Chains A and B, each alone.
Chain A
């Protein structure tokens, strides 16, 4: 694995911005889980609680013009990219004001204005499409970058290997971000993956690969800065393996039979949110009061989005004939 170069240290504003994105993800996830438990949302939910640092840090270095392709466990990636929450909530509730008019749902949320180009329910399929977005950036002569998010399980599917090879041969401005939470659905990492570090696979495709503590904002910032700069400067793709943990299993309701209670508790004890918050205050980058005010603003935004989404009308059945093709299918 290549050594990280000396990326500039994040400014206090950047650090607080990363925390803002993290707490927005965490509060939103909490609200979704509570609403599902109350029976007011009916949806399959793949919580990314615990994985906040990864997209929060990467998004802090991206512009609205930069693109992401993500997966079914990807609402944190969208929230980090500052996707507005009203259409997000309306979509997961299956309503007309949803970003996809209620036709995609939580596994296919799309919001091109925020750069959320594709959300796929198929393991590994964010990567081939991210390459095309990156190819377009090159053809446009633009410096924009594309991130493909995926999990550790996706590094074992063919699409990963085809995509990394093509991105390298074509020197595409794309970053492959593996959020390695230690489990591919229910299968423990080492029982399904041939190497101890996914980043090692980058060697086989002629690109830099780094394994990073995905729960450490400073380590993530350095890795993200290097990979994004490299892509913007036309030097080609990078594979980032960000080690993390998912607090709520594969899908909400999962009883986590495939790990011990102790193991899970130990991983949850490393929750990056309270630790980063305390560090920001300790370093003098923020105060308890300023962060509480930030959180209150975010909670109000989420509450508003939730009310908006759940109050939005249901789609008309005519929608089945719309958006199949550009032209509506006759009744």
Chain B
């Protein structure tokens, strides 16, 4: 089996090429995505318009409502559109189309309408892009019935989960996060789609479970060695899909360890960690050895100054401290 070393953006590009080659109903649209415009601001869509033509791969005006609306309409007519919203903060401009239409048309039509769209969107702190270019907004979408929220952390999952999103019969938002984009890994050429809603155990352990997703998984992985040195056995779970989330895997792990820390890049206040923490508390109350802890960004917009941005992100050191405190 052949494999190629690639980063997560290259994995996205490989998934898009494969999906378009396998299924002529897959179409792609978004700002600057065609090769005439450089193949996307990150290059994630490079080569698609040259290979599959300008009818199936369309650069759009800077009109996020029109982009998602066109994706929805084409989906209602049998296509599987992959729409790029350049940055996750810009989904705010298209929220009516996403929240009121894509997510709800199946239910409101009693199952007659299906909206199999994938919205790819980039975000994440770390590049000093400040308050309107870096928010992790998965909680907004997870709170909306009818949309699946996918947030991979490594090239294999980027490719395998994107393939699943494109073929999924429901709308999916696929989050590409700054902190996880440029760490290369071997990705099999014939990688099978990775099922949505299934977590991955990054490391097995017996003392404490850390639940994370997207770029925060990388920072949790960096905490594993110091924690091992401190004699703490950590089980790290990469949720991969934020909604619907793999409750079964999380509860099985915490039932084993008796301790849980949820770590995400999103703001902690009303963040998705709250849903997971309360589920653990409800289901495993008698078995917990310590209170469930949540780590997330402070209740603040993403800042510009490097010193502030560093403090905004949940660092590996904070993960280590939190786990140690839980074991004390």
A interface residue numbers (CB < 8 A to B): 67, 69, 98-104, 108, 110-112, 117-118, 120-122, 125, 127-140, 146, 158-159, 162-163, 165-166, 169-170, 322-326
Contacts and interface: CB of A to CB of B under 8 A. Distances in A.
B63 interface: yes
Nearest to A102: B110
Closest 6 CB pairs of A and B: A132-B73, A128-B69, A136-B77, A101-B110, A100-B110, A110-B109
Given A159-B69, A159-B96, A163-B66, 15 more contacts: A99-B109, A100-B108, A104-B107, A120-B101, A125-B96, A125-B97, A129-B76, A136-B74, A137-B77, A159-B66, A165-B66, A166-B61, A323-B107, A324-B146, A325-B170
B110 A98 contact: yes
Nearest to B78: A136
Contact of B75 (A111, A132, A140): A132
A112 B73 contact: no
A140 B108 CA distance: 27
B155 to A, nearest CB: 27
B66 A166 contact: yes
Interface of B: 27, 55-56, 58, 60-61, 63-66, 68-79, 81, 96-97, 100-101, 105-114, 145-146, 148, 169-170
A93 to B, nearest CB: 14
Contacts of A98: 110
A326 B106 contact: yes
Nearest to A315: B110
A162 B66 contact: yes
Contacts of B71: 132
27 contacts: A102-B110, A103-B108, A108-B108, A110-B113, A120-B100, A127-B69, A128-B66, A128-B68, A128-B97, A129-B76, A132-B69, A132-B72, A132-B73, A132-B74, A132-B77, A136-B77, A138-B55, A140-B77, A158-B65, A165-B63, A166-B61, A166-B63, A322-B111, A323-B111, A325-B148, A325-B170, A326-B170
A128 B72 contact: yes
A67 B113 CA distance: 13
A88 to B, nearest CB: 13
Contacts of A69: 73
Nearest to B24: A139
A137 B74 CA distance: 9
A70 B27 CA distance: 25
B249 to A, nearest CB: 16
- In this complex, the member of A69, A121, A131, A140 whose beta carbon has the largest number of chain B beta carbons within 10 angstroms is A131
Contacts of B76: 112, 117-118, 129, 132-133, 136
B61 A324 contact: no
A110 B73 contact: no
Listed residue (B61, B68, B70, B75) with the most chain A CB atoms within 10 angstroms of its CB: B70
Residue among B58, B64, B68, B72 with the highest chain A CB neighbour number at 10 A: B72
A129 to B, nearest CB: 4
A108 B5 CA distance: 48
B106 A325 contact: yes
Contacts of B114: 326
B107 A103 contact: yes
Nearest to B145: A324
A195 B328 CA distance: 70
Contacts of B112: 99-100, 110-112
Contact of A129 (B73, B79, B111, B148): B73
A99 B110 CA distance: 7
Contacts of B109: 99-100, 103-104, 108, 110, 323
A112 B72 contact: no
Contacts of A158: 65
Contacts of B65: 128, 158-159, 162-163
Nearest to B170: A325
B190 to A, nearest CB: 26
Contacts of A111: 112
B265 to A, nearest CB: 26
B55 to A, nearest CB: 6
A125 B101 contact: yes
A130 B106 CA distance: 17
B79 to A, nearest CB: 6
B65 to A, nearest CB: 5
B72 A110 contact: no
A272 B56 CA distance: 45
B29 to A, nearest CB: 9
A101 B113 CA distance: 13
B74 A112 contact: no
B1 to A, nearest CB: 31
Nearest to B114: A326
A23 B58 CA distance: 43
A323 B109 CA distance: 9
Given A132-B70, A162-B66, A166-B70, A118 B113 contact: yes
User: Which of B61, B96, B100, B114 counts the most chain A CB atoms within 10 A?
Assistant: B96
Contacts of A121: 100
Contact of B101 (A129, A136, A163): A129
Contacts of B108: 100, 103-104, 108, 110
